[in-house]
Structures are given as C-alpha cells and as structure tokens.
A and B are shown apart, each in its own frame.
Chain A
Amino acid sequence: MPQFFSNKRLVVLLVSIIILVALIGTSMKERNALTMPEQFFKDSVGWIQSIFYKPANSVAGLFESIGDMKDMYEENELLKSRLNEFVALSEELKTVKKENEELKGELNIEPSTGLSDYQTFHANMIARSPDRWNDLLTIDKGKQDGVQVNMAVATPSGLIGKVKNVQPFSSTVQLVSDVDRTNRIAAMTQEDKNVFGTIEGYDTEKKVLLFSKIPVDIKVEKGQTVITAGNGGIFPRGIVIGEIVDVETDNVGTTQTAHVKPAADLYDINNVMVIERGAQNVVPDNGEGEEE
C-alpha cells in the first residue's frame, strides 16, 4: 500500500478544508441574488430536469388515479349534496359582500385595504433536493414570468413556502419545513378575535410548525386554523397554513407556542401557486398575473 498521506497531500487537504470553510461562510451570508454562474447552472439544469420530472410524474399520477377510481362514486354523491349547500352559501356571500361595500361606502373606507389582495401565478414543480436536509423545490417559473424573491408559494390546500432565489426561467422555493433561522412567517388565528404570532421553525420529528410569540393570557385551542397575517411584509393575509394540534407554554412563561400541522401535504406537491401581494399597487391589476 502506498503511503496514505504524503506531505504534499496533507497540505492539499488542509488547503481544501480552508477553502471549504470559506465557501460555506460566503454562501451562508444573506444574499439578495445568486451570482451569474449559479443562475446559469440552475436554469439550464432546471430545463433538463423538467424533461425528466414530467413523464415520471404523469406515470405516478396514472397509478394514483386508478387507485382513486374506486372511491369516486361515493365521493361524487357527497359532493352533489354539498353542491346545494354551496349555492346557498354563495348567495349569502354575495349579499354580505354587497352590504359590506355599502357600509364601507357610508363610512368612507377605501374599497380595499390591500392586506388580503393578491394575484397568483401557476407553476409546476420540476425538482426537489434529494437530501432532506435542505427542503428546497425548483419550479418552472422565473423572473421572466414575474416571480420575485420572498413571494408566498401555496398549493390549493395551503401554504408550503416562499420563493428563495429567482433565476430568469426557474426559481427555488424554500418549504416551511426547512430549518433556517430566516424562515419566518407572520401568522394569526381568527376565531373570536385575531391572535398574532410568528411561525418560527419546524419540528422535524413531530412534523409540526412552531407558532410562537403568542401572549400567554390569550387562549388558543386545538383545531383552530392558522393563516398568514400579511403584516410581515410580502405575504398577503389569509393563506391557510394549518391547524393547531397542541399548545404549550414557553420556558419563561410569558409566551406560548402552538404546534401547527401544515394543511398542505409537503411531499405531495405538483402544481403550485406563486402568490403576489397586490397591496402596493394603487390600482390592482388582476388581468396580468393569470398565466397557465
């Protein structure tokens, strides 16, 4: 066996460890945008990934739909009965909306306060980090389609994350389950009165989000729905995050933390919506963001 470490190799190893630490240090810094080569690589590989992902996904979808077929009949019956309820509800909504507008008009409130206005882009997922350490997705819409950093990303059932990096033709989404100290969302529950707090992390073993900074004298209960609060900046108000499954008081005893089970299945993601908040626009332009 040749000598395992000659002096030259030892030097090379040490130098490469130094380079490793330097690289990690520089790439851990808060960066607004990726460097050009990184964007180029991500975009071009993303294009090839979409070629791989779509057929695989449709094959998997075929199997799933065969599995779903047997429940279809029962589900259909249930949905039909729900439909009547829906008609009644939508009528009620119309009258309530109209009344609301009239009342707002009388009180001279601006027609939209803006917090809950948003437009959505539809995008497809094309890849996901294979190591589960980084919960990042790649989607096939980028800067050219109007996606910007920090926009909220959701599936029809609820919030899944936010846009982390944007390239011209693809972007990277950081899931809510990613353990990262900057991964915070302003959240609230809306039962009797509004309770505000922040989603401050994810418990990997229990698979719940930690909804913390709730004042201790406010009662939050199991089963309440948690939504985005919209006062944290870029997220609009009213995207469903999940349901409270457990509440505990913090060590200090001044705040409490609720465990929130995400409403969206973080592993069953195909089509996502990128949500652009319309609050900053003076005239909300609804026609632009509708892309298929």
Chain B
Amino acid sequence: MKRFLLIGTLFVLFLIEGTVFQVFAPEHYGFDFQLIPRFVTVIVVMIGMIMSPAYGVIYGIGFGLLHDLIYTDLVGVYMFGISVAAYIIGYLSKVFQLNWFTVLILGLLGFSLVEFYVYELFSLINVTDLSFHSFFYDRYLPSLILNGVFLLIVYYPVKQLLEELSESRRQENQAKRRNFL
C-alpha cells in the first residue's frame, strides 16, 4: 500500500513539474534566470540513499522513461541519467551518517550530476547552444537553490515513508527466508 503512495506522490510531482510549476515559472514574469524543477530526481536520489541503490535505479528507470516520453523527444536521456545518479549517490551515502544535512548535500549532488550530464549530452548532440557560463549562473545555481529548498520541505515526510517501506521489505525478506528454511 505504502509503495503505491510513493509512486503516486512521484507521479503527481512529475505532473506538477510540467504544469503547475510552468504557470509560476520566473520567465513568465520577465526574470532572466531559469528555475528548473527536478523534484522527481531529488526524491529518486533519496530513495537510492534511504532504501537501497537498486530501488533508486528501478524508480529512476521508470520515471526517467516517463520524463523522456512526455517532455522530450529523445528516449533514454533521463532514464539513464536519473538511475545512474541514484545508484552513485546511493552507494556514496553508505559512507555518511544520514541526517538532514548529509541528505541535503547528497541530494543536491545527485541533482547536479543529472543537470551537468544532461547539459553536456545535449551540447554534444546540438540540442542546446547555451554557453557554460550562462548555464552555470542563470540556470544551475538558481535551480540548485530551488531543489534544495524543496528537499528540505519534503525531507521528513519522505524519509518516514521510505524508512517504513524499507522496514516492511526487510520483514518480508525475513519471512521468506524463514519459509525457505
């Protein structure tokens, strides 16, 4: 049941990125910088940290593919990017004691991985011609702040949900093992 809650939340966030957030996007009001919502990425990276890297990869593939199909023309870009970021950050997180600060830093590291990877890839295949300078200052830094604030807001509820999920998974595995023996 809890799993569907997680999937549902991610799906709603995915929709909000493209619809509600676009209504209130800063360009709408004449600002020069861009705020790129990467809410799904941030939460998938948290899944990689708190549950396990493997789960991060699975959710990354699912929601990355959805992002590719709905919002871009190229299939595979985000599918690969989000799942690899969740995997790397998931393994990296085992070195740290997880609290709100380390989760924030690692989550933003995951966001940065995805953002730089997509920028480099799209420059390579000529989807964009944005210079690195304006990518970094007008796009990356404001988005970093946006997603950082988002992560702090959802940190406690999401952490609780993910911990319950991994707890129930552990119990299931134990039960299975007992039956097997």
Contacts and interface: CB of A to CB of B under 8 A. Distances in A.
Interface of A: 1-2, 4, 13, 16-17, 19-20, 23-24, 26-28, 38, 41-42, 45, 48-49, 52-53, 56-57, 59-60, 126-134, 136, 138, 164-165, 179-181, 204-205, 267-268
A136 B71 contact: yes
B77 A24 contact: yes
A152 B6 CA distance: 40
A132 B139 contact: yes
A24 B125 contact: yes
Contact of A127 (B18, B25, B79): B18
Residue among A2, A23, A138 with the most chain B CB within 10 A?
Answer: A23
B91 A52 contact: no
B40 to A, nearest CB: 10
Nearest to B83: A16
Interface of B: 15-25, 27-28, 34, 36-38, 66, 69-77, 79-80, 84, 91, 94-95, 118-119, 122, 125-131, 134, 139
A129 B73 CA distance: 10
B130 A41 contact: no
Given A1-B94, A57-B23, A131 B118 contact: yes
Contacts of A134: 71-73, 127
Contacts of B71: 127, 129-131, 134, 136
B121 to A, nearest CB: 8
Quick one: which of A19, A27, A59 has the most chain B CB within 10 A?
A: A27
A138 B80 CA distance: 24
Contacts of B94: 1-2
A11 to B, nearest CB: 14
B162 to A, nearest CB: 20
Which 3 interchain pairs have the tightest Cβ spacing? Answer: A23-B76, A53-B19, A267-B27
Contacts of A164: 73
Nearest to B138: A205
Contacts of A27: 73-76
B169 to A, nearest CB: 18
Given A24-B75, A60-B24, A130 B15 contact: no
B91 A128 contact: no
Contacts of A42: 69-70
A130 B14 CA distance: 10
Q: Counting chain A CB atoms within 10 Å of each CB, which of B17, B36, B80, B126 scores highest? A: B80
Nearest to A59: B23
Given A133-B122, A179-B127, A127 B80 contact: no
B73 A205 contact: no
Given A52-B19, A53-B19, A130-B18, A1 B70 contact: no
B21 A130 contact: yes
A24 B54 CA distance: 24
A17 to B, nearest CB: 8
14 contacts: A16-B80, A17-B80, A23-B75, A26-B75, A27-B74, A27-B75, A41-B69, A127-B22, A128-B19, A129-B18, A130-B18, A132-B36, A164-B73, A165-B73
A53 B20 contact: yes
A136 B91 contact: no
Contacts of A268: 28
A257 B19 CA distance: 36
Contacts of B130: 204-205
B126 A181 contact: yes
Contacts of B37: 130
Contact of A132 (B24, B34, B75): B34
Given A42-B70, A179-B126, A205-B130, A20 B80 contact: yes
Contacts of B28: 267-268
A102 B12 CA distance: 61
Given A24-B75, A28-B74, A45-B70, A128 B34 contact: no
